[in-house]
Amino acid sequence: MKIVIRDTKEELSSLIAEKFIKLLKKKPDAVLGLATGSSPTVVYDDLIKAYQKKTISFEETSTFNLDEYLDYKHNQDSYWYFMDQHLFNHININKKHVHFPNPKDPAGYDALIEKTPVDLQILGIGADGHIGFNEPNTPFDEGTHITSLTQRTIKDNSRFFPSIEDVPTKAITMGLKTIMKAKEIVLIATGNNKNEAIKKLLAKVDPSCPASILNNHPNTTLYLDKEAAKDIKER
């Protein structure tokens, strides 16, 4: 596992965006694994700018999103809407090439990813070490599945909703086994509230910190700001 540390989220996002841009230049039909939340938004901003400058095209690109809420009250609460607003509506991607997990057929998502493997997957990390909506103690061999969100996750995500009562309590998520099939993984973590999760991630492979499974992946890079990395001992 590689670790990159920079001062700001913007610097980290620029480095990750460059990795995506390099891939798309080399392989226009690349398969991208995408995440939502606050962590990847600056990366998406940089990708939009690269597209607007005609540096890259998404015409042949396919995407697989990590997860989606269930039973959200309004369309704008969905991760599909989030991705439209932060990326898809601003680039030339074919919406037929955009994929989200289907709660009626979780196994079908895994089968599709097995058929068209993800070249580059971006992840954020929860304060409790979850990736996607794989909450603590999710089995490492779990595929795409429906899950109940912990109270901590609901509280953390409430910042995106009018009130905590509006946060969905269930979601469908790409499983840890599925995430690990990506050819390359990048994880971005910034802020003091993520340093404990990063510390646990690097300590040992343990289901209580789902992200720790990334230690077993052959091509993963952590992109951390100094606050998220402050408890890392020299490795």
User: What value, to the nearest 5°, has the Cα angle with vertex 102 and ends 99 and 106?
Assistant: 110
CA-CA distance, 209 to 41, in Å (whole number)? 24
85 membership: H or E segment, kind and range: helix 79-86
User: Which pLDDT value is given to residue 233?
Assistant: 60
Kindly report, residue by residue over 17-31, the tens digit of the pLDDT.
999 999 999 999 999
**Concatenated DSSP letters of 175-211:** -HHHHTTSS-EEEEE-SGGGHHHHHHHHH---TTSGG
CB 132: neighbour CB atoms within 10 A? Answer: 29
Each domain of the chain, given as residue ranges in start order, spans: 2-225
Fold for domain 2-225?
Answer: Rossmann fold (3.40.50)
Kindly report, residue by residue over 74-104, the tens digit of the pLDDT.
788 899 999 999 999 999 999 999 999 999 9
User: Which pLDDT value is given to residue 6?
Assistant: 96
CA-CA distance, 229 to 218, in Å (whole number)? 21
CA-CA distance, 130 to 174, in Å (whole number)? 12
Kindly report, residue by residue over 175-216, the tens digit of the pLDDT.
999 999 999 999 999 999 999 999 999 999 999 999 999 999
